[in-house]
Amino acid sequence: MDLGFSSRAIHHRIQKGRLHRVYPGVYAVGRAELSKHGRWMAAVLSCGVRAVLSHASAAALWEIRWERPGPIEVSVPATSYPRRPGIKVHRRSNLTRRDVTRHQGIPVTSPICTIVDLVPRFERSAVEGMISDADSRGLIRADAMRRELDEMPSRPGLAELKRLLDRLDFVLTDSELERLFLPIARRAGLPKPVTRRHVSAFRIDFYWPALGFVVECDSLRYHRTQQQQARDALRDQIHAARGLTTLRFTHYQIAHEPKHVESVLAAVVARLNRAA
């Protein structure tokens, strides 16, 4: 009607098969069949001007979770009360402008908001998988994601996701990482390592040539996707073929579990010294 069509004109086009009713006020043009993107857009349009695709449906649109059978999920302002068959409506008062965007023309919750919304539903491994997929697709940066969570209003899943990222990710520059790791290495009996050196065409984090010993520090951003993990495996295999001993520690371990890191380093150093 905003485009100038009368009720009679709309009815005429429905009768002629030019418009096909999907929801009240929402029509498919030309044919009744809709793609999944068409179904998602129709669901959002039917729920009002401030409605957005959310939760599992948003994750499917972002391609960080497979689409599952079930209702399409849409979030609306808390003051809205749409009821539509085949649509699960979430009435929410805590969505901010940063929480909503458009993807492929469809209003949708942002990748970070979508992951937070789904944390209460899934096991930790599934949440990690979504983070990994979003990072590999360039939708988020894990370090930036952690900072954005600190600015997000309280909601289910937020605190749990913060704890998960705090264990998996560690946002430090090389100099800050060295500042934390080097005292641990000294206490374990190691001399100052070589840093930022390429060994067998791979850039290593910490290297002791006399011992044939390499330590790598794995962050969430650079070591979570299958491609990155395959590269790490290849690196370790080539180092092993050259007779090098490689240890991997997470950034979280170096920052928050230094006693564990020190004990492992000391045991390995003792073995390497005996072998020498």
pLDDT recorded at residue 226: 60
Given CA atoms 253, 256, 258, 263 in this order, what sign does their dihedral have? negative
Mean pLDDT lowest among 40-54, 98-112, 153-167: 153-167
Q: CA 164: distance to chain centroid?
A: 12
3-state secondary structure of 240: helix
pLDDT per position as a tens digit, 142-189: 667 888 898 898 899 999 988 887 765 444 445 567 778 888 999 999
Q: Where in the chain is the domain with CATH 3.40.960.10?
A: 174-275
Kindly state the DSSP code that residue 85 receives in the 8-state scheme.
Answer: T
Provide the β-strand partners of residue 195. 206
The label of the residue with tokens 């890191």 reads 261
**Homologous superfamily, domain 174-275:** VSR Endonuclease (3.40.960.10)
Q: How many CA atoms lie within 13 A of 168 on its CB side?
A: 22
Using a 10 angstrom Cβ sphere, with 0-12 exposed, 13-18 middle and 19 or more buried, the burial of residue 76 is buried
Whole-model pTM: value is 0.62
Contact of 52 with 74, CB cutoff 8 Å: yes
